[in-house]
Chains A and B, each alone.
Chain A
Amino acid sequence: MSENRGLIAVVVILLVALVGLVCVGVGALVYCPQPGSVCAGLFGTPSNISQGVAPQTQPTAVQGQNQNQGSSQAPTQSPSGSTNAPAGNVLRLPGGSGLGGDPPTLDPANTSDVESATYIVEIFSGLVSFNKDLKIVPDLAEKWDVSNNGTTYTFTLRKDAKFHDGRPVTAQDVKYSLERAADPKTRSTVSPLYLGDIVGFMDKYTGKANEVSGVKVIDNYTIEIDIDKPISYFLASLAHPTSYVVDKYNVESGEQPWYLKPNGTGPYKLAQWDQGQQIVLEKNADYYGDVKPSVDRIEFVLGGGSAMTRYENGDLDAVRVTIADIDRVSDPSNPLNKELSITPQLSTSFLVFNTRKPPFDDPKVRMAFAMSVDRQKLNDVVFKKMAVVATGILPQAFPGFNPNLQGIPYDPEGAKKLLAESKYASGLPDIVWSTVGGGGTAGSDVQAIAEMLKENLGANISVEQTDWATYLSQINGTNIDFQMFDIGWSADYVDPHNFIGLLFRGGSLNNWSGYDNPDVNKLIDEASVEPNLEKRIQEYQQAEEQILKDAPVLPMYYGRDYWLTKPYVKNVFYPPLVIERLKYITLEK
C-alpha cells in the first residue's frame, strides 16, 4: 500500500508541476520571441503568425497548392516587435461568419449557407441588394419599373458595371445567370426557394423546358422578369445570392470546380484561397458602386487555433465572442468590454409540440408545457444571458415585430390547472424529445427543460439524440414522427411571411407542429398578397397572436451576436442578414 501512496503523491506533485512548468518554463522563455535575443532564431517570430501581412499587389494563384505558401511570403518587420498590427491597409477577420472553416462553395446559385454567402455577396452582385438598413436598393440595376398588376418587373442595368476581368455586364449575363440557377445541372437546392416564382423557372428546373420563359432580354441593358403572382417580397428574394450575376466564360472555363477562380462584379475579388488556412480578398479598384471599397486587402483566417487568443494577441481585428468568454467580455471593468458590439439576429428558436401526436393534440396540454418552462432562468444560467427571451414568433429586429406581445408567461401553477382541465388530466403518456446531438448526454438546456417539465407537470420525458443529417430527413415532409423537438429558424428574407406563413400555415411544408387553424390560415393567405404594407403586417400580427394562444410551439429565444472589434476598425457592422458590408469598412491607424 505504501508504494501506491507514493504513486498518488507523485501524481499530485506532477499535476502541480505541470501547472508550474507551464508558468515557470514560460517565464524563462520570455525574451526568446523578441528580436535580438539569443534564442530568437530558434522559433523564428512566432508572434507573427498571420500570413502575408505585407500587402500583396500581385494576386497569387488562387487555391494554394501547398500548405507552405504562407511562409514563402515576405515576413514583415513589426516596428516594436510586440505589436502585431499589420502593415498597410490590411484587415484580418475570422473566416466567414466567424466560425472559421472553408465555405462549402463560392457559386452564387448554390448558396445555401451563411459561410458561403459571406464571401459571395462581396465577390458577386445582383440586380438589387440590401443596404445597411436592410432596405432594397439598386445594384447592377440602376432602376426598375413594376407593372400595374405587380407581376412584371423591368430592370434597367447600369452601363458602368464590369466583371473583375473588365468585361461589361449586360442583360444577357443576367439572363444567363438566372437560367443557370434554374438549370438542373447546376443542382441548386436553393434556387427554387428564391426564384421559383419566376414564370417558367420550375419548368426548366424539372427539365421540362430549355429556357426560363419569364426572363426576357429587351436590349443590352434592359431585362424583363415575369412572376406568376404579385408577391410583395420578390425584390427581397432577388437580393439573395442565388440570383447574382456570374460570368458565362468563367463558369464554362473547365476549372474543377469553376468557383475556385471566380470572376465576379462585386467590390472585392478573390485573391487567394488556401484551403483550411485563409481566404484573401482584394479590393476591386474598378468597382461601379457609389461606396468604393477602402481596405486594400482582407484576410479571412479559416483555421489556426483559438480566434479569441489571436484577437487578444492582436493577430485578428475582430472576433465572434462565444459563451466561454462572454462573462469576461461583458464585465464593464474589462478593457475588452469597450470593443464589444451586440446585434440582434433575425432568428428565433422554438420548442415544437407535434399537434398530431398525443398528448399535444390538446391545446391545453401544449400551453401547460409552454408555461412550465422558465426561459428567463435558462437564459441567465445556461446561456449566460447571451440570448433574449422570445415574446413572440417574429424576432425583435424584424419588420412587423409586435412590441406589445407579452409572450407566454412562466406560470407553473397556471400550467398545473390547465393540465387538470385537459383530456390528459388522468395522466400524461411518456414523451420522447428528439434533439440534435451526438454526445453521451443532451445539452444542458435540454436537460434543464426536461427537468422543469417533470417538476411542474410530472411529465416523463426521455431525450433522444440524432445526428444533424438524420434529424433533417426526419423533420422533412408534412408528417413528422417526432413527438416534441427543438429547432431554430433564421430569416431567408425580411418579410413576416418567412416566419408566420412558412412555419404555421396549415399544409405548409415547413409547418413542423402540424398546426392547422382555419382562422390563422385565412389571415396568412390574405396577408401574403396584400399590397398595403401596414395592413399586411397587421394581419400577420393577428395571426401571430392567435398562434401564441394555441401554442403549437413555445418560442424560446431571439438570437443575438456578440463581436469584438479593434478600435481602429471603423464603420464595421454586423448585420442580421448576410449583406455586402466590407466596402464600408475603413482602417484608421
Chain B
Amino acid sequence: MLAYIVRRLLWLPVLLILISLLTFALGLYGPGDPVQVMLGLHTNPQIVEQVRKEYGFDKPFPVQYWNYVTNALQGNFGYSLVKYQGQRVSDLIAKRLPITLQLNLVAVLWSVPLGIALGILAALRRKTWLDVFVRAVVILGISLPVIGLMPVLDFALSRKHEIGALGIGPFLPPGGWQGVFAPHIIQPAFILGLGALAVFTRQTRAAMLEVMNADYIRTARAKGLKEWMVITRHAMRNALIPLITIIGFTLAGLFAGSFLVEQFYGIPGAGALAYDALLSKEYYIIMAFTLIAAVVYVIFNLIIDIAYVFVDPRIRYK
C-alpha cells in the first residue's frame, strides 16, 4: 500500500514538468501579449519591444523556462504584469485562494450530504410523491441557469422593497466577503451548492435503486435481517462506491473556483483572479493556477483510489 502511494507521488514531479512546459509554451507562443494589453489601443512597437526586453520576454524559450523553474523552486512564482502590477503571484494567490476554498467548502458541506440523503430517500420511496418531488428538485437544480437565478435572488432578498409605507428588507447583504460565519455567504453558497445537490441526489438515487434490486439484498432480507440493517449495511455501502469518485472530483473542483458567483457577489476570491489573468495574458498567474490544479487533482485522485480500499474489500493495491 505504502509503496503504491509513494510510486504514485513520484509521478507528480514528472507530471508538473510536462504541464508547466506546455502551459509556458502556450503562454509565450499563443496570441496576445501582456505588454500590449497594458498599452491598450495605443499602438507602438518600439514601446512594446522595450518593455518586453525589460521583462525578459525577448529571451529564448529555454532560458525563460529555466529562469521560471529556478525561481519557482526558490518560492518565487513571479509577479503580476497587468492587473495587479508588481504584486507577487504567491501573495495574490495566498490572499484569494482561501476565500474561494471556504466558500466552496460551505457549498459542498450543505449540498452533498443533503443530496445523498434525498437520493436515498427517493430510492426507498420510489414512485411516491416524495420521489417525484426530489426528481423535480434535481431537474431544477441542473437546468436553472445560475446567471439568471442570481439577480432574482438579489432582487428578492437584498433589496429594500417599499410596499406602500412599509419598508421590507433587505434580508441578506447583496454580496461581499466577511468570512464563513457572516450572512454574506448565504446567497453565494446556496447558488454554488445547487448543482452539486442535483448531481448527488440523482447519482445516489440511481445507485441505490440498482443495489436494491441485487440478489444479495434479497438474500439479506431472506436471512431475516431487519430492513434498516439491510439498507445501511448492505445497500448503502455498495451504493456509495461510485459516489466516492464524484466526491473526489467535486472536492478537487473547489480549487477550480466559482468565477461567476464570485464575480456577481463581489467576492475577492481566486476565480476572479484567474479570469483576469486569462484575459490579460498574465503568464505567471496562469502558470501558478495550472500547477496548483495539477497537484490538487493528482492528490485527490490518489485519495479516491485509497478510499476504494476501505469501502470495497475486493480492491487491493500492490
**Known: A105-B85, A489-B41. Contact between A472 and B183, CB under 8 A?**
no
**What separation, in Å, do the CA atoms of A477 and B137 have in the docked complex?**
55
B45 located at the interface, meaning its Cβ lies under 8 Å from any Cβ of chain A in the complex: yes
Stretch at the interface among B157-165, B208-216, B218-226: B157-165
**What separation, in Å, do the CA atoms of A113 and B83 have in the docked complex?**
10
Least CB distance from A335 to B in Å reads 10
**What separation, in Å, do the CA atoms of A345 and B6 have in the docked complex?**
62
**B154 with A305: CB separation less than 8 A:** yes
**What separation, in Å, do the CA atoms of A104 and B2 have in the docked complex?**
47
**A469 with B183: CB separation less than 8 A:** no
Stretch at the interface among A26-34, A411-419, A420-428: A26-34
**What separation, in Å, do the CA atoms of A257 and B89 have in the docked complex?**
12
- Residues of chain A within 8 A of B47, CB atoms compared: 189, 192-193
B51 located at the interface, meaning its Cβ lies under 8 Å from any Cβ of chain A in the complex: yes
Interface residue from B39, B91, B174, B268 paired with A310 (Cβ < 8 Å):
B174
Interface centre among A113, A192, A260, A474 (most CB of B within 10 A): A192
Stretch at the interface among A39-47, A124-132, A393-401: A39-47
A78 located at the interface, meaning its Cβ lies under 8 Å from any Cβ of chain B in the complex: no
Q: Mark B250-267, 1 if CB is under 8 A from A, else 0.
A: 000000000000001111
Interface residue from A68, A101, A510 paired with B179 (Cβ < 8 Å):
A68
**What separation, in Å, do the CA atoms of A476 and B41 have in the docked complex?**
8
**A107 with B85: CB separation less than 8 A:** yes
B176 located at the interface, meaning its Cβ lies under 8 Å from any Cβ of chain A in the complex: yes
A88 located at the interface, meaning its Cβ lies under 8 Å from any Cβ of chain B in the complex: no
B281 located at the interface, meaning its Cβ lies under 8 Å from any Cβ of chain A in the complex: yes
**What separation, in Å, do the CA atoms of A510 and B43 have in the docked complex?**
6
**Which residue of chain B lies nearest to A14 when distances are taken between CB atoms in the complex?**
B136
B189 located at the interface, meaning its Cβ lies under 8 Å from any Cβ of chain A in the complex: no
B290 located at the interface, meaning its Cβ lies under 8 Å from any Cβ of chain A in the complex: no
Interface residue from A101, A305, A476 paired with B264 (Cβ < 8 Å):
A305
Least CB distance from B167 to A in Å reads 6
Interface residue from A10, A104, A276, A304 paired with B272 (Cβ < 8 Å):
A276
A67 located at the interface, meaning its Cβ lies under 8 Å from any Cβ of chain B in the complex: yes
A112 located at the interface, meaning its Cβ lies under 8 Å from any Cβ of chain B in the complex: yes
- Residues of chain A within 8 A of B40, CB atoms compared: 112-113, 472
**B176 with A104: CB separation less than 8 A:** no
Within 8 A of B (CB), among A178-228: 184-185, 187-190, 192-193, 205-206
B234 located at the interface, meaning its Cβ lies under 8 Å from any Cβ of chain A in the complex: no
Interface residue from A274, A314, A472 paired with B32 (Cβ < 8 Å):
A472
Least CB distance from A558 to B in Å reads 17
Size of B's binding interface in residues, CB under 8 A: 78
Interface residue from A6, A110, A304 paired with B176 (Cβ < 8 Å):
A304
Q: Mark A285-320, 1 if CB is under 8 A from B, else 0.
A: 000000000000000011111100110111000000
**What separation, in Å, do the CA atoms of A477 and B33 have in the docked complex?**
14
**B176 with A185: CB separation less than 8 A:** no
**Known: A14-B136, A312-B160, A470-B31. Contact between A476 and B45, CB under 8 A?**
yes
**What separation, in Å, do the CA atoms of A192 and B49 have in the docked complex?**
13
**A469 with B174: CB separation less than 8 A:** no
Least CB distance from A59 to B in Å reads 20
B61 located at the interface, meaning its Cβ lies under 8 Å from any Cβ of chain A in the complex: no
**A184 with B50: CB separation less than 8 A:** yes
- Residues of chain A within 8 A of B156, CB atoms compared: 22-23, 26
B95 located at the interface, meaning its Cβ lies under 8 Å from any Cβ of chain A in the complex: yes
**A10 with B132: CB separation less than 8 A:** yes
**Which residue of chain A lies nearest to B38 when distances are taken between CB atoms in the complex?**
A189
- Residues of chain B within 8 A of A257, CB atoms compared: 85-87
**What separation, in Å, do the CA atoms of A509 and B266 have in the docked complex?**
38
**B281 with A11: CB separation less than 8 A:** no
Interface residue from B37, B99, B137, B167 paired with A67 (Cβ < 8 Å):
B99
**A309 with B54: CB separation less than 8 A:** no
**A305 with B158: CB separation less than 8 A:** yes
**What separation, in Å, do the CA atoms of A104 and B85 have in the docked complex?**
6
**A305 with B176: CB separation less than 8 A:** yes
Within 8 A of A (CB), among B258-286: 264-269, 272, 279-281
**Which residue of chain A lies nearest to B173 when distances are taken between CB atoms in the complex?**
A49
Size of A's binding interface in residues, CB under 8 A: 81
**Which residue of chain A lies nearest to B178 when distances are taken between CB atoms in the complex?**
A71
**A472 with B37: CB separation less than 8 A:** yes
**What separation, in Å, do the CA atoms of A185 and B41 have in the docked complex?**
23
**A184 with B54: CB separation less than 8 A:** yes
**B182 with A469: CB separation less than 8 A:** no
**What separation, in Å, do the CA atoms of A321 and B45 have in the docked complex?**
37
**B55 with A68: CB separation less than 8 A:** no
**A303 with B177: CB separation less than 8 A:** yes
- Residues of chain B within 8 A of A62, CB atoms compared: none
**Which residue of chain A lies nearest to B137 when distances are taken between CB atoms in the complex?**
A14
Interface residue from A15, A100, A110, A113 paired with B266 (Cβ < 8 Å):
A100
**B266 with A476: CB separation less than 8 A:** no
**B50 with A11: CB separation less than 8 A:** no
- Residues of chain A within 8 A of B170, CB atoms compared: 33, 46-47, 309, 313
**Which residue of chain B lies nearest to A508 when distances are taken between CB atoms in the complex?**
B43
B310 located at the interface, meaning its Cβ lies under 8 Å from any Cβ of chain A in the complex: no
B72 located at the interface, meaning its Cβ lies under 8 Å from any Cβ of chain A in the complex: no
Least CB distance from B27 to A in Å reads 11
**B157 with A22: CB separation less than 8 A:** yes
**B31 with A473: CB separation less than 8 A:** yes
- Residues of chain A within 8 A of B315, CB atoms compared: none
- Residues of chain B within 8 A of A206, CB atoms compared: 46, 50
Interface residue from A190, A303, A472, A478 paired with B267 (Cβ < 8 Å):
A303
**Known: A68-B179, A476-B43. Contact between A276 and B268, CB under 8 A?**
yes
**What separation, in Å, do the CA atoms of A588 and B96 have in the docked complex?**
38
**B41 with A306: CB separation less than 8 A:** no
- Residues of chain B within 8 A of A459, CB atoms compared: none
**B36 with A476: CB separation less than 8 A:** yes
B44 located at the interface, meaning its Cβ lies under 8 Å from any Cβ of chain A in the complex: yes
A70 located at the interface, meaning its Cβ lies under 8 Å from any Cβ of chain B in the complex: yes
Interface centre among B33, B91, B151, B171 (most CB of A within 10 A): B171
**What separation, in Å, do the CA atoms of A397 and B168 have in the docked complex?**
43
**Known: A44-B183, A46-B171, A100-B266. Contact between A70 and B86, CB under 8 A?**
no
**B33 with A473: CB separation less than 8 A:** yes
A102 located at the interface, meaning its Cβ lies under 8 Å from any Cβ of chain B in the complex: yes
B35 located at the interface, meaning its Cβ lies under 8 Å from any Cβ of chain A in the complex: yes
Interface residue from A101, A309, A467, A510 paired with B158 (Cβ < 8 Å):
A309
**B281 with A469: CB separation less than 8 A:** yes
- Residues of chain A within 8 A of B33, CB atoms compared: 469, 472-473
- Residues of chain B within 8 A of A304, CB atoms compared: 173-176, 265-266
**B43 with A509: CB separation less than 8 A:** yes
A89 located at the interface, meaning its Cβ lies under 8 Å from any Cβ of chain B in the complex: no
**What separation, in Å, do the CA atoms of A49 and B40 have in the docked complex?**
35
Interface centre among B91, B151, B157 (most CB of A within 10 A): B157
A277 located at the interface, meaning its Cβ lies under 8 Å from any Cβ of chain B in the complex: yes
Least CB distance from A303 to B in Å reads 3
Known: A47-B170, A470-B32, A510-B43. 20 other contacts (CB 8 A): A11-B136, A30-B168, A30-B169, A46-B171, A68-B179, A184-B50, A184-B54, A187-B55, A192-B47, A257-B85, A257-B87, A303-B176, A303-B177, A309-B155, A309-B159, A467-B32, A469-B37, A469-B279, A469-B281, A478-B43
Give 17 pairs: A residue, B residue, CB < 8 Å, sorted on A.
A7-B135, A11-B139, A11-B140, A23-B156, A49-B184, A107-B85, A110-B85, A256-B86, A256-B88, A303-B177, A303-B266, A304-B265, A309-B158, A309-B170, A473-B36, A476-B45, A476-B48
Q: Top 9 nearest A-B pairs by Cβ distance?
A: A276-B268, A305-B175, A303-B266, A469-B32, A305-B174, A257-B86, A304-B176, A10-B136, A22-B156
